[in-house]
Chain A
């Protein structure tokens, strides 16, 4: 069964740090790009960060750039999100999601979407 399981969430004081993990199973983790997506309480979905299969490309939302670092260990099938200088507004459920980039029709663009999601881990930045 294809599965993603997040861990590492918790209560942290503003200004503190936390590292989230996402354990992948049931598929060849090293072949897929991955995303972190978060959802503040009662709010919508917000994309946080992307990493390519070999870690050669990483992208970040402006709201976390310079504070968060995405990484992965393909030998251990693990995805990480190192979060530093946490703010109250970072309080959210954090999801990891598998990225799919599949060929479109001939002479057409590829399809980009997230097809597998974990259940999420909750991060609370509060004093």
Chain B
């Protein structure tokens, strides 16, 4: 089973800054099977990125994904107030879905 470890646990930044969130897999995975989700309090998760780097429909271009192998990154440029939320990476493989434990992006 693939274990995804996200870092940092909490990231404190100001609006307008750039956020860099990390997702590390316990073994090499296909980037095609790596996705990122955003969740605000009391809301359902929202798909941001799939295939490690492809933005989902309607996602602003300030959100970007990159990485391969075991290391993947979600970058958010020019943070907007609505970007402060929880972020999860997720992988599918061997008939199992797994999520990272999440990174909380909070306003500094």
Interface residues of A (CB under 8 A from B): 35, 37, 44-47, 50, 57, 59, 61, 95, 97, 100, 104, 108-115, 117-120
The answer to whether the Cβ of B63 comes within 8 Å of any Cβ in the partner chain is no
- Excluding A44-B88, A118-B44, 18 further A-B contacts by CB distance (< 8 Å) are A44-B100, A44-B102, A45-B88, A47-B98, A50-B97, A57-B95, A59-B96, A95-B44, A100-B50, A109-B30, A111-B33, A112-B32, A112-B35, A112-B92, A113-B51, A114-B45, A117-B44, A117-B45
A47 touches B47 (CB 8 A): no
Across the interface, which residues of A come within 8 angstroms of B86, CB to CB? 44
B51 touches A114 (CB 8 A): no
How far is it, in angstroms, between the C-alpha of A44 and the C-alpha of B4 when the chains are bound?
12
Question: Nearest CB to that of B35 among chain A residues?
Answer: A113
How far is it, in angstroms, between the C-alpha of A35 and the C-alpha of B97 when the chains are bound?
9
Tell me the count of chain B residues lying within 8 A, CB to CB, of chain A: 28
B30 touches A113 (CB 8 A): no
Q: Which of A46, A97, A100, A111 has the most CB of B within 10 A?
A: A111
Q: Which 7 A-B pairs have the closest CB atoms?
A: A47-B97, A109-B32, A113-B50, A112-B92, A113-B35, A117-B44, A45-B99
Across the interface, which residues of B come within 8 angstroms of A114, CB to CB? 35, 37, 45, 47, 90
Question: Nearest CB to that of A108 among chain B residues?
Answer: B32
How far is it, in angstroms, between the C-alpha of A111 and the C-alpha of B55 when the chains are bound?
12
Across the interface, which residues of A come within 8 angstroms of B92, CB to CB? 112-113
Decide yes or no: A111 and B98 within 8 Å by CB, A117-B44, A117-B45, A120-B44 being known contacts.
Answer: no
How far is it, in angstroms, between the C-alpha of A115 and the C-alpha of B90 when the chains are bound?
12
The answer to whether the Cβ of B101 comes within 8 Å of any Cβ in the partner chain is yes
CB distance from A48 to the nearest CB of B (A): 9
CB distance from B101 to the nearest CB of A (A): 5
Question: Nearest CB to that of A111 among chain B residues?
Answer: B51
How far is it, in angstroms, between the C-alpha of A97 and the C-alpha of B57 when the chains are bound?
16
How far is it, in angstroms, between the C-alpha of A37 and the C-alpha of B45 when the chains are bound?
10
Across the interface, which residues of B come within 8 angstroms of A44, CB to CB? 86, 88, 99-102
